[in-house]
């Protein structure tokens, strides 16, 4: 099946899931998934990944993030498994999808992400915390909770350095420049 045919199917499942979760995380909502997919699709074509595995992993990777816990790779994989079965996703590819989901979070040692699909998703997930959306997220989640601008800049730099593939860096470079420019100028203005 062409990977594009999975998009409406996965989107439907994601919408259903989001309608019933107990503790929705706005930073990981459907908009985030669609932004991540847009960039993953570009990268996936460049890197010749299994697009079926990639699209399923992207749409289902944050299912477990809406249950009040920050750590969510394992729970997302648990929630994704019955969905893959239900939509009759190719059986021989299911484990690969679940593995990408299970290990997508930044704190999981990168050695665990031993497929290109896993690296692409994890990288693009980080890129989504940059750019204009990233500025908003950092102001809401860090600055509003007392993190200094200096510290925010260092968090962003660390995140950028942890991106694995040079191709992902290219896709995210403009977003990185946008967010760094904003916070560096903000720091200058605040410190006078
Ligand atoms: Fe996630
Ligand atoms: Fe995500």
- What Cα–Cα distance (Å) separates residue 58 from each residue in 53, 183, 190, 192? 9, 29, 38, 43
* pLDDT tens per residue, range 125-157: 999 999 999 999 899 889 999 999 999 999 999
CATH class of the domain at 1-108? mainly alpha
Ligand 2 centroid – CA 192 distance (Å) = 36
Ligand 1 centroid – CA 151 distance (Å) = 22
pLDDT for 141: 86
Nearest to 83 by CA among 101, 108, 67: 101
> Which part of the chain is CATH 1.10.3210.10?
1-108
> Which ligand approaches the C-alpha of residue 29 most closely?
2
pLDDT for 109: 94
pLDDT for 1: 83
pLDDT for 92: 98
As given in the structure block, the two tokens for residue 98 are 């679940």
pLDDT for 88: 98
> Which ligand approaches the C-alpha of residue 65 most closely?
1
Ligand 1 centroid – CA 124 distance (Å) = 11
Ligand 1 centroid – CA 132 distance (Å) = 19
Helix (H, G, I), strand (E, B) or coil at 120: helix
pLDDT for 142: 92
Overall pTM > 0.85: yes
Ligand 1 centroid – CA 61 distance (Å) = 6
Number of H helices, E strands in the chain: 9, 0
pLDDT for 191: 87
Q: Which residues of the chain have pLDDT under 50?
A: none
> Which ligand approaches the C-alpha of residue 32 most closely?
2
């Amino acid at each position: 099946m062409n990977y594009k045919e999975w998009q409406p199917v996965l989107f439907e499942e994601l919408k259903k899931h989001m309608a019933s979760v107990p503790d929705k995380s706005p930073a990981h909502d459907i908009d985030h998934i669609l932004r991540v997919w847009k960039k993953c699709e570009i990268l996936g074509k460049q890197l010749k990944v299994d697009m079926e595995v990639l699209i399923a992993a992207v749409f289902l990777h944050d299912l477990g993030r809406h249950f009040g816990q920050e750590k969510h790779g394992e729970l997302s994989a648990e929630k994704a498994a019955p969905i893959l079965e239900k939509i009759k996703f190719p059986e021989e590819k299911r484990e690969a999808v679940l593995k990408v989901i299970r290990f997508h979070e930044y704190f999981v040692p990168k050695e665990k992400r031993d497929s290109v699909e896993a690296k692409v998703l994890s990288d693009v997930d980080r890129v989504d915390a940059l750019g204009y959306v990233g500025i908003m997220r950092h102001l809401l989640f860090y600055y509003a909770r007392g993190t200094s601008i200096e510290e925010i800049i260092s968090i962003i730099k660390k995140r950028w350095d942890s991106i694995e593939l040079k191709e992902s860096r290219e896709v995210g470079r403009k977003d990185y420049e946008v967010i760094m420019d904003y916070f560096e100028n903000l720091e200058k203005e605040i410190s006078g």
